[in-house]
Homo-oligomer: A and B are copies of this chain.
Amino acid sequence: MIYLDNAATTWPKPEIVWQEVLRAGKEYGANPGRASHQMAIDASRSIYKARVALSQLFNAPDPLRIIFTLNATEALNLAIFGTLKSGDHVITSSLEHNAVARPLKILQDRGVEVTYLQGDDYGYMDEDELKKALRPNSKAFVFSHASNVTGTLQDAARLTKKAKEYGLTVIIDAAQTAGVHDINIKDWGIDLLAFPGHKGLFGPQGTGGLWIGEGLHIPPLYYGGTGSQSESEYQPTHLPDRFESGTQNTPGLAGLAAGVEFIKEIGREKIEEQEEKLTIKLLDGLSNMKKVTLYGPPVHLPRAAVVSMNIEGVEAAEFGFLLDKVHQIAVRTGLHCAPLAHKRIGTIESGTIRFSPGYFTRDEEIEQVLSAVEKLIEEVS
């Protein structure tokens, strides 16, 4: 199996990730933050380790303001619903995933105004467009750091700094970038950063989180036992407890901590370079094939390791099916949960075939994929 669906979930994971998952489950499988016995303390420490590792990776000023969720979607909802209320105006991009677009649609129905920035031909936004969109009631700017359909990688540093100058709360969806591309909470001034644990950070599925900047008053999505201030009828006000009700995913977070440690050992930049190299190889190879339509920015522009394409005369789903069945190549086909992006690139009917290599993808795998695609095009189109 050649796995090119890393934009959904990275696979395989570094071996240490599963070792730490097992260690958490078998050696200290107790409740973090709920008791004083040694196993419970080890569980708490393990989760704290994940917070510290992430705060270092993202240059976050306070590990306790990184809170954990089931996935990035939950984190984005927490950020978006917590920031916007009826009468507010929010600015977003035209490439958003449903994890941003659907909460915004609900809020729109409740009286929040939404502006979708079109950006340039590839969806890259700039400060002028942002400035033009401002209204007196503009409250927030929420955007995907990189599109999961086109790969378009925004200049998030510049956009965040400008948005902060305009007094906006900046919410970034780092689903496609966390662990691979540079993210700097402190220097850029990011208010809310949502990240999945199971993609570029190499954690197991079932992990994700949100950086919540100082001074933001976000209500929790749900309430319950926190192991702290248990005598109070209300949720504690301090972080992370305010947002982490009920038993947390200790083995998953122990795995996530190991994934982030792995990134630090390799060096994030090296992972970024490796993914870039693989993506360029893929783009170069595909662009030379007849009947191939490639979407997203050309090879020299900033992008995440996501390559979307279609083959003339063949349904994306059929082509993906054949890649899997005949060549054991795993890709994703269809709408990738991001209809806004598909509308932009004109593929809302049946989506695209998406290749997403990861750090563990080998050069020769890309070569095999290119030759499989070429062969299939001849056979089916």
12 interchain pairs (CB within 8 A)? Answer: A5-B40, A18-B26, A35-B333, A70-B206, A70-B246, A72-B246, A74-B246, A98-B224, A106-B234, A196-B246, A206-B248, A206-B252
In the complex, the answer to whether A3 meets B18 with C-beta atoms within 8 Å is no
**Which residues on B sit within 8 Å (CB–CB) of A25?**
13, 17-18, 21, 204
Interface flag for A262 (CB, 8 Å): no
Q: How many copies does the complex hold?
A: 2
User: How many of A's residues come within 8 Å of B, CB to CB?
Assistant: 90
CB within 8 Å for A8 and B31 given contacts A99-B225, A205-B248, A230-B338 = yes
Q: Which of A50-58, A183-191, A298-306, A317-325 interfaces with chain B?
A: A317-325
Q: Beyond the given A77-B221, A249-B249, could you list 16 further A-B residue pairs with CB under 8 A, ordered by the A residue number?
A: A11-B30, A17-B25, A21-B251, A29-B205, A37-B330, A38-B328, A38-B330, A74-B222, A98-B223, A99-B223, A102-B224, A206-B252, A224-B337, A225-B338, A231-B339, A232-B339
* A348 to B290 alpha-carbon distance, docked (Å): 74
In the complex, the answer to whether A247 meets B317 with C-beta atoms within 8 Å is no
Q: Which residue of B lies closest to A331 (CB)?
A: B37
In the complex, the answer to whether A11 meets B38 with C-beta atoms within 8 Å is no
CB within 8 Å for A11 and B39 given contacts A26-B18, A102-B235 = yes
* A298 to B53 alpha-carbon distance, docked (Å): 49
Instruction: Enumerate A41-78 residues with CB–CB distance to B below 8 Å.
Output: 69-74, 76-78
Interface flag for A181 (CB, 8 Å): no
